[in-house]
Amino acid sequence: MPPEDSVDRAPARATRWLGLLVLLAAMPVAAAERIASLNLCLDQLLLDWVDHRRIVSVTWLSANEHYRRAPLPDHVTLNRGRAEELLSLSPDLVLAGQFGAGRAAARLQELGMRVVIIPDAYNLAQLQEQLQALGTELGESAELLHQARRLERILQQPVPGEPVSAMILSANNITYGSGMLEHELLERAGFRNLAAGTAEGAGEQLRRVMLEEVIAAEPQLLVLYGGEQAFALAHLAARHPVIRRYVDSGRVFTLPAELGFCPALVAADVLEALKQKRESLVR
């Protein structure tokens, strides 16, 4: 069951989501036609959700194979977060994150350019705020509206019954406690995050655990973060035979790397996949 305070906030969240969907549906077609980004996550959201003809520049990180989800359009210029790089492109909207490229964003604002800071998302409430801010700035976007509706639909579904225990393990043996998006996704999908319930992990967002500590907790599902070759399942299985049993029995779930740097891209996918995984474990 979700905590009482989550239940108390449910009407407010539903109202906020309804307002977001009404806002997105009513967006005028006339919006920024030359958009630049100074943030890796915003790069990806633009490339996934916006007509590429409206994008003039994204950060150089988006050319990295670790982050790139699709070929970059030929006309899109890569920037390294410097104001002078964007001046010559004359964008009518520059999107920036809360952190990084702060000097460039401030300088562009001083020079009269329209710069909008889009909040980062470290939990579901912040993810809703991020989508709302994007909807306001990007105007009409069928993909953004689709993703907002999809996430709203999933979040409105009741949390499954008796929770199944789970524990997250990422590179350098980091686990995720309460207050993190990963923790909230587990809870919404009907899992009980063991890292948030232990005396050592209570109230901690991130902490390092020994592999033996994870095994002793006996989670019904071991959740791993993807994206790093050094953290492959084969690597973990070779370190401990119990991990091999988790792998062989199918009691593992891999979170996509995108969840770590741009959760809006995959949060709905992860929630649906976690729910399906719980159902398979219960069966």
3-state SS, the chain, equals: CCCHHHHHHHHHHHHHHHHHHHHHHCCCCCCCCCEEECCHHHHHHHHHHCCHHHEEEEEHHHHCCCCCCCCCCCCCEEECCCHHHHHCCCCCEEEECCCCCHHHHHHHHHCCCCEEECCCCCCHHHHHHHHHHHHHHHCCCHHHHHHHHHHHHHHHCCCCCCCEEEEEEEHHHEEECCCCHHHHHHHHCCEEEHHHHCCCCCCCCEEECCHHHHHHHCCCEEEEECCCHHHCHHHHHHHCHHHHHHHHCCCEEEECCHHHHCHHHCHHHHHHHHHHHHHHHHC
| pLDDT for the residue numbered 210 | 83
Listed in sequence order, the residues at least 6 apart from 93 whose beta carbon sits closer than 8 Å to its beta carbon are 32, 34, 35, 36, 114, 116, 137
> One fold for both 4-153 and 164-282?
yes
CATH, domain range 4-153: 3.40.50.1980
Residues (pLDDT < 50) of the chain are 1-8, 21-29, 199-202, 228, 230
Given a contact cutoff of 8 angstroms between Cβ atoms, the answer to whether 38 and 96 are in contact is yes
| pLDDT for the residue numbered 72 | 92
| Segments making up each domain of the chain, as ranges | 4-153, 164-282
Listed in sequence order, the residues at least 6 apart from 177 whose beta carbon sits closer than 8 Å to its beta carbon are 183, 193, 195, 196, 201, 202, 203, 204, 205, 206, 207
Strands 206-208 and 174-176: antiparallel
Nearest alpha-carbon partner for 78 in 89, 69, 93 = 89
Structurally, at CATH architecture level, domain 164-282 sits in: 3-Layer(aba) Sandwich (3.40)
Given a contact cutoff of 8 angstroms between Cβ atoms, the answer to whether 194 and 200 are in contact is no
| pLDDT for the residue numbered 27 | 44
| pLDDT for the residue numbered 46 | 94
